[in-house]
Amino acid sequence: MANIKISTSQNWLQAHAQRLIALAFWLALLIGYQWYATVNALSPLQVVQRLVAFMQTGFWGPLVYIALYAVRPLILFPSTVLTLAGGFVFGPIWGVLYTLVASNTSATIAYLIGRYFGQTLLKDDGSDSWIQRYARRMRAHSFDTVMVMRFIFLPYDAVSYLSGVLRIHYPPFILATALGSIPGTIAFVGFGASIEHFDGGLPALNPATLAFSVAIFIVSIALSRLFKKRESRTQTADVD
């Protein structure tokens, strides 16, 4: 009996070895970041202040920004704070371009993680529970659903992880993410670009850039309502 248990354990470890290694790497990265922030008594904003000082120093700034943004989901670092920093450092034009590249890369990484680790979760078991109904709807109308989620600024990484767990097709996911993130990216990069200088206190803001960012933010909310109505009509048509 003991030999059977040992053999079963070994088989389980062999079958899940890659996932366990990936999970260990992820946890090490997360714990390492949390340890660094705790030891140095740094809030996310203070971490970004240090990064801003580094990114302003030379050629490597954009590459460092994109790389950090790409791995950001692994350490659960808030995307909004880093997006504001991108606007502050690189301005409204380059900030938007760099952030779009970086955010879509980070969304892909989070999607792949969710798909890899969550492939046994939320499988369609044929039940009529609310979570299964929502999962079916998201799979059937993935483009519109992800687009609405991006427009209304639902937690960026949560949407990506959920999309991976539900194993929706990657092309509609990344296309909806790329298009749906544009208004929000412009708005938050604009907020960051409107900061003329920041020394840890209240920032000095450029009124024109700030007003433009607020307008784009409102447009994003309006677009989310439009797509939500379209999604509802599509679902009604499918039921009929």
Give the model confidence (pLDDT) of 9-52 as tens digits.
Answer: 555 455 555 555 656 666 666 676 667 667 776 666 677 667 77
3-state helix, strand, coil in the chain (%, to 5): 80, 0, 20
pTM assigned to the model? 0.72
83 and 124 inside one domain: yes
DSSP 203: P
The Cα diameter of the chain in Å comes to 75
Across the chain, what does the average pLDDT equal?
A: 77
Asked if residue 103 and residue 24 are part of one domain, the reply reads no
Which of 79-88, 160-169, 172-181, 226-235 is the least confident region?
226-235
Domain hosting residue 5, numbered range = 1-41
The verdict on 131 and 20 lying in the same domain is no
Tell me: do 91 and 28 sit in the same domain.
no
Residues 36 and 59 occupy one common structural domain: no
Query: Taking residues 90-100, what's their average pLDDT?
Result: 90
Same domain flag for 13 and 117 = no
From CA 71, how far away is CA 65, in angstroms rounded?
10
* Count of domains for the chain: 2
Residue 1 in this model has a pLDDT that exceeds 60: no
User: Do 76 and 33 share a domain, yes or no?
Assistant: no
Q: Are residues 3 and 61 in the same domain?
A: no
Q: Looking at the structure, do residues 30 and 85 belong to the same domain, yes or no?
A: no
| 203: pLDDT strictly greater than 90 | no
Helices 61-71 and 44-55 sit at what angle, rounded to 10 degrees? 150
Do 122 and 7 fall within a single domain?
no
